A and B are shown apart, each in its own frame.
Chain A
Amino acid sequence: DSGVTQTPKHLITATGQRVTLRCSPRSGDLSVYWYQQSLDQGLQFLIQYYNGEERAKGNILERFSAQQFPDLHSELNLSSLELGDSALYFCASSVGPDNSGNTIYFGEGSWLTVV
């Protein structure tokens, strides 16, 4: 158990809909990351937050948004869903604010299926 908690574990929704994925980081970790894993794109970095502020942005679509709340949990919002958004979405956390080599621990992921 990495200590990173993600909900829901599985989600099935229709095209055009909007979903919210939730993540609680490990105790003491201030950074939260979101990654998408799909068969064709592999594991891709979406976005990082540190202590409530956006820290780094990767290949995140404009239809997707995220935020980190004062209690440090984070939410990833996916809207106008398309079939191609079906993927495993990971949340990860680490102590530090940047790529200073902190170990990044991943949650168990949220399986999203868009039908």
Chain B
Amino acid sequence: AQKVTQAQTEISVVEKEDVTLDCVYETRDTTYYLFWYKQPPSGELVFLIRRNSFDEQNEISGRYSWNFQKSTSSFNFTITASQVVDSAVYFCALSEAGLSGGGADGLTFGKGTHLIIQP
């Protein structure tokens, strides 16, 4: 069965520091998709990125970057020069293509990492 582990329950850093959020996943499928979502205090879930299992290129979007490594089943998220507005709970999620016969069961989320950016 698919599983996503975000071992860091809470991280607190001072503004302008760089911070990396870890995500480790488990899946038997060879085709799968990884996502990151942000949940600010207001509660909505904001989509950040989607990556498929065949694309191991790292991605950078402004202050955000993602490091996908199939060898270690990890999809880590780094925020450079953090800002107070980055304070939120961040979720990593996995979606299997369902080709292994396990079925397609929507997104499997990790427990989330609560990121606190102190001014």
Contact = CB atoms under 8 A, between A and B. Distances in A.
A107 B95 CA distance: 19
Interface string B21-62: 000000000000101010000111111001010000000000
Interface residues of B, number: 27
Interface string A92-115: 100000111101111111010000
Nearest to A47: B106
Nearest to B53: A101
A83 to B, nearest CB: 20
Instruction: Provide the main secondary structure of the chain A interface.
Output: strand
Contacts of B52: 101
A111 B96 contact: no
Interface string A54-70: 01111000000000000
Interface of A: 2, 33, 35, 42-45, 48, 55-58, 88, 90, 92, 98-101, 103-109, 111
